[in-house]
Structure 1
C-alpha cells in the first residue's frame, strides 16, 4: 500500500518540475524585426551583439554593443531605467548564445529583455543596414 503513493509521486515529480520551470524561450520573449527597427529608429533600445568581436567588426545591427567587449562592465552600459528595452541577438535562429547577454541583463534587474531570433543572418537577409568597423 505504501509503494503505490510513492509510485504516483515519482510519476508526478517530472510534471511538477515542468510546471515550476518555464521553458528558456518563454523566459526571453522574441521581438519582431519590425518592432526592433522601430525601437532602433526611436532610440528606445539597447541592442547586445553576442557573436564575438570578429563577427561584430564584420557587421552588426546598427548601434549594437559588442557583448564580448563590454563583459563585466555591462551594468555601466545599460540605462538606469530597469524597464528599458534590452535586445540580445546572435548568429541566427539556431544560435543560443544570446542567452548569456539576456540572462546577464535580467540578473541586473532588467524586466524588458527580448531576443531577436533571426540574428545577424536574418537582419542581413532582410536587407536592413548594418554597421561595420
Structure 2
C-alpha cells in the first residue's frame, strides 16, 4: 500500500512545484479535467495499467527519485493504486497516493485544468 497524502499537503506541494502529479484516469477523463500540471498514465482498464505505466513512465517521469503523487476519481477507484504500485516496481522511490482523488479536490473548490494529450494513434 502506498503512503497517503491529504488535499492540503498536495495543494501546497503543487503550488511549490515540488511534486509531479500523475492522473491515472483514462485519457478522455484526463483531457476533460485534471489537477494542475498533472501528467497522465491511465490505470484503466485495470488489466492494462501495468502496460500503460511501463510505456509512459520513462517519458513523463524520467527521474526515478522525483516526488510523485498518483490519484484517480475517488476512494473506491483502483487506478491510482495499480499505477502507483507499478511505479514502485519499476524503481520509483518516492510514490504517494491522493486516495480521495479529483472528486475531493473539486469539492474543496480547487482549480483544475483541461488539455489535449498528443497520441500517436
Determine if the TM-score, normalized by the shorter chain, exceeds 0.5.
Answer: yes
For residues 62 and 18 of structure 2, what CA distance do their matches in structure 1 show?
A: 10
Q: Unaligned stretches of 5+ in structure 2?
A: 43-51, 116-121
Structure 2 residue 76 is matched with structure 1 residue 102: no
TM-score, structure 2 as length reference: 0.79
* DSSP-derived class of the 1:63 partner: coil
Q: Which has the higher contact order (CA 8 A, sep 6+)?
A: 2
Q: Unaligned stretches of 5+ in structure 1?
A: 1-26
* Cα distance per residue 1:75-115 (max 9 Å; x no partner): 23214252x21111111011111122202221221222111
Structure with greater helix share of residues: 1
2:56 is aligned to: 73
Runs of 4+ residues over 3 Å off in structure 1: none
Asked if 1 retains the 8 angstrom alpha-carbon contact of 2:64 and 2:91, the reply is: no
**Please, what is the CA RMSD of the aligned residues?**
1.7
Q: 1:119 to 1:36 in 2, by over 3 A?
A: same
Q: Within 5 Å, which residues of 2 pair with 1:1-133?
A: 27-68=1-42, 72-80=55-63, 82=65, 84-133=66-115
For residues 126 and 107 of structure 1, what CA distance do their matches in structure 2 show?
A: 32
TM-score, structure 1 as length reference: 0.72
